[in-house]
Amino acid sequence: MAVTAVPERTARQQPRPSVGSVASSAPAPLLQVEGLKTQFPTRGGWLTAVNEVSFELAPGTVLGVLGESGSGKSAMLRTILGLQPKSARISGEVILEGRDLIAMSARERAAMRGSSVSMVFQDPMTALDPVFSVEQQLVETIRRHHPMSGEEARGRALELLHLVQIPSPERRLKAYPYELSGGMRQRIVIAMALVSNPTLLLADEPTTALDVTVQARVLDLFHELKGREGMSIIFVTHDLSVAAEIADEIAVMYAGRIVEQGSVEELVRSPQHPYTRGLLEANVRPGQADRPEAIRGAPPNLANLPPGCSFAPRCDLVEDACWSALPEPVHVSASHFARCRLVTASESN
């Protein structure tokens, strides 16, 4: 299985094998996130944006992280990348290629950002400087990572534009960001993220700002990149059909927690958590005219989470016990779990 769900309890109770020593045919994980917690100080107290999140990611695989706005998806990516403000309270482990990104110094983390891990943000305009041409920005980024002549860097920039399937790359190099379409701009941003040849690419809603046809083409590009040797991707989206299209596995985030995780097939064919079922029902299918009903209610206040299941106030199946105890992950297969007390564990697990 490509991406393995690690329920935090089990992971804590057992000694974690070192990255190089994972037995069996499963490749050693590229990334191990364990008990990751991110809190921000607010006037209403500590706001828990990422709440004890644990998962593993194998080389060359794509984890889709799915959830409504405000569920902690961006906060999780920014924490992994070390981009949170100093005021944030962060705990847990993010082990990339055997090194803990949380425990290392800011300087070491910045070095990792320039090499092993990079990020594509939602809005390509914020990642590009409007006053410099594509060539100036790309060449500068390339030379920051690899000392080389301007001419060599320009050659590398052209290669990268080919890689992200930009037509007429020579002409596009000369362009300024405002002269390019949204889709072209996002391809340039993706090219910039690939400069350091990262083993881990974090993509935060990279297609959300694009219109539907362009979105499909940029998703095709991610498909191509996915085939590149060893690069793993965490692809954040609020759109289930996008997650199903690009990911090997999906983690559903609700109120800062992963409430369900499994392979795309498992999740789409047999969603277990009432929240995941709601997302599936709310998903517009091709050819469907009316927008289906969204899940009723709104996500909880992350600065004041109720005890018990965070989804209880919106759940049609809620029972008395849901209000008191936080549901533990229930495994329906070795690779599929949901945090809901109404889910029945599979016999074989």
Ligand X SMILES: Nc1ncnc2c1ncn2[C@@H]1O[C@H](COP(=O)(O)OP(=O)(O)O)[C@@H](O)[C@H]1O
Looking at 20-28, 70-78, 255-263, 329-337, which segment touches Mg ion (CB under 5 A)?
A: 70-78
**Which tokens go with 30?**
């590229």
With a CB cutoff of 8 Å and minimum separation 6, the contacts of 283 are: 239, 240, 241, 292
Q: 239 near 158, Cβ under 8 Å?
A: no
Residue nearest to Mg ion (CB): 74
Angle at 47 between CA 45 and CA 50, to 5 degrees: 155
In whole angstroms, the minimum distance from the beta carbon of 283 to ligand X comes to 17
Between 155 and 313, CB nearer to ligand X: 313
In whole angstroms, the minimum distance from the beta carbon of 84 to ligand X comes to 7
In whole angstroms, the minimum distance from the beta carbon of 242 to ligand X comes to 14
Q: Rule CB under 6 A: is residue 259 a binding residue for ligand X?
A: no
Q: Rule CB under 5 A: is residue 74 a binding residue for Mg ion?
A: yes
Q: Rule CB under 5 A: is residue 207 a binding residue for Mg ion?
A: no
Q: Rounded to an integer, what is the distance from CA 14 to the centroid of its chain?
A: 26
Task: Give 117's strand partners.
Answer: 200
With a CB cutoff of 8 Å and minimum separation 6, the contacts of 159 are: none
With a CB cutoff of 8 Å and minimum separation 6, the contacts of 161 are: 138, 169, 172, 173, 187, 188, 191
163, amino acid identity: L
In whole angstroms, the minimum distance from the beta carbon of 269 to ligand X comes to 25
In whole angstroms, the minimum distance from the beta carbon of 266 to Mg ion comes to 25
Between 47 and 139, CB nearer to ligand X: 47
Q: Which of 6, 47, 189, 221 binds ligand X (CB under 6 A)?
A: 47
CA distance 195 to 115: 9
Size of the site for ligand X (CB under 6 A): 13
Site string for ligand X, 58-97 (x = CB under 6 A): ---------x-xxxxxxx---------x------------
Phi and psi for 257 in degrees, rounded to 5? -110, 155
Q: Rule CB under 5 A: is residue 38 a binding residue for Mg ion?
A: no
Contact set with Mg ion (CB under 5 A): 73-74
Contact set with ligand X (CB under 6 A): 40, 47, 49, 67, 69-75, 85, 302
